[in-house]
Amino acid sequence: MGRTTVIRRADWALGYDPATGSHRYLRDADIAFADDRIVHVGGAYAEPFDVEIDGSRLFVMPGLVNIHTHSATMPLMKGIREDMSNPRLYMSALYDGWNLFVAEPEDKIWNSRYAYAELLRSGVTSVVDMCYPYPGWIDALAESGLRCWLSPLYESARWGTRNGHSLHYRWSDDGGRDAMRVAFDLMDEAERHPSGRLSAMVSPMAVDTCTPELLRESCQAARGAGRKTQIHAGEAMIEFLEITRRTGMTQLEYLESLDVLGPHTIIGHGIFLDHHSWLHWHTRRDIGRLAESGTFLAHCPQVFARYGIALENFGAYRAAGVTIGIGTDAHPHNMIEEMRIACIMARTASGNTQNMPTSAAVEAATLGGAAAVGRDDLGRLAPGAKADLVLIDLDHPSMMPAHDPLKCLVFTAAERPIRDVFVDGVRRVADGEVLTVDRIAAGRRIADMQSRVIPRVPERDYAGRTAADVAPPAFPTAPPG
């Protein structure tokens, strides 16, 4: 056994209960880890140790598993995208936002660094990072200290709009195979990284931007390499209409026909499936397709809530047997906030508080995410699990009174009381400060990036609109003087 750390008599801890396959609260618990593995959770730890942490006013929980985010693009959208929507594309701003506010490849590393700091600060220890390849991505991830599934995006076509009310697809001559080769080379490079914390996931971008051939080949290659696949599907009403126009099938029916669904696959979002009330489709089979095939769902509620869009509804998917994980997708890259919004939107969509209790959000952000990435040693405090731990200060005012620490954390405190975060037994956040990323420096670089990107919006927009036309400020700015 290597260097051992013991957290002595934690006031509260969230231990894993193998009898139920879920978590349970522990009081006055010792948690010990040696190097990168937990060796003890529960009563007094009587073995030799090297470091002791006083747990008397701490709540110790497992690191969170974020199964869907886009680090290289989304921080740039901060202060821009929050009120954006397009009523002529069923409220989604997806097709304007991605195409108008675009960072140069060499600038994307600063977006990612900023996002990684936000993730760590909100208790994330493992993340699936879905980005178009850019220079320095692997190095930025390794430096962050996170455990990551590098998930390079590729596709057969890029979508956009030429008129603001319909989609245009620019199809590549090779169907996306060159981009797929680049992505697989990058995945191989990540898995060779000496940190040992980088894995890979196969990510053909979206159900409507990939040819059926590319989708089939991607899944076959992923299975052959022992990798999971994640694909965007069900994220916009216009996407549902496009796939039904092309094929006469729903997105999941179409993916099922291509042998894409299964326990090797994660569906990103899965909101606009055949049961959604906006669609009035004639079947109600898609949730069953997910459950029966063992396909996982990555739920990212906050960005859609900003458009007035909700999953209908979390409890129904869960009751059908779908395993759900949570992702942050866009800014803020804050998993605690995402868990809170997930609860609120599920309850609102269903009209039922019990549709998504706090426990369901926590399970999705820990055990559900771990299952989705195929790991039974993540998202739990148990002997043999990875030493990914989050230490929460119960004396922080936002956690008082800590009658139920998870309810306080999810519904009130968010990331504010998170004191320390360990990944593989190494402290990556200490006393609330991220140790691996200079958040201020990264934020300043993004501000500089925005100052260069915003004036170029009219050049990229089909109607020559300015950034202020597309994303109006909350209030007008008075002229000086």
Each residue's pLDDT tens digit, 87-100 = 999 988 888 767 89
Whether pTM > 0.85 for this model: the answer is: yes
pLDDT at 196: 94
What burial class does residue 384 get, using C-beta atoms within 10 Å of its C-beta: 0-12 exposed, 13-18 middle, 19+ buried?
A: exposed
State residue 313's pLDDT score.
94
Sign of CA dihedral 37, 39, 42, 45: negative
For residue 284, what are the contacts with CB-CB under 8 A and spacing of at least 6? 274, 275
pLDDT at 437 over 90: yes
On whether the CB atoms of residues 311 and 349 are closer than 8 A, the answer is yes
CATH architecture type of domain 64-372: Alpha-Beta Barrel (3.20)
Q: For residue 389, what pLDDT is reported?
A: 98
Class level of CATH domain 4-62+382-434? mainly beta
Query: According to the model, what pLDDT value does residue 1 have?
Result: 57
The overall average pLDDT reported for the chain is: 96
- Of the candidates 157, 155, 154, the one whose C-alpha atom is nearest the C-alpha of residue 170 is 157
Cβ neighbours of residue 45 closer than 8 Å, sequence gap 6 or more: 6, 8, 30, 31, 32
CA–CA separation, 155 and 204 (whole Å): 6
CB-CB neighbours of 409 under 10 Å: 27
In a 13 Å sphere around the CA of 362, the CA atoms on its Cβ side amount to 22
Q: What residue spans in the chain does CATH classification 2.30.40.10 cover?
A: 4-62+382-434
Domain limits, CATH 3.20.20.140, in the chain: 64-372
Percent residues over pLDDT 90 in the chain: 95
| pLDDT in the model for residue 300 | 98
β-strands 157-160, 229-233 pairing: unpaired
Map tokens 């962050």 to a residue.
144
Nearest to 158 by CA among 187, 179, 138: 179
Tokens encoding 397: 């005012």
User: Would you state the pLDDT for residue 198?
Assistant: 98
Q: Is the pLDDT of residue 37 over 90?
A: yes
Length of the chain: 481
Strands in 349-398 per DSSP E? 389-393
pLDDT tens column, 140-195: 999 999 999 999 999 999 998 999 999 999 999 999 999 999 999 999 999 999 99
Q: What is the mean pLDDT of residues 203-221?
A: 98
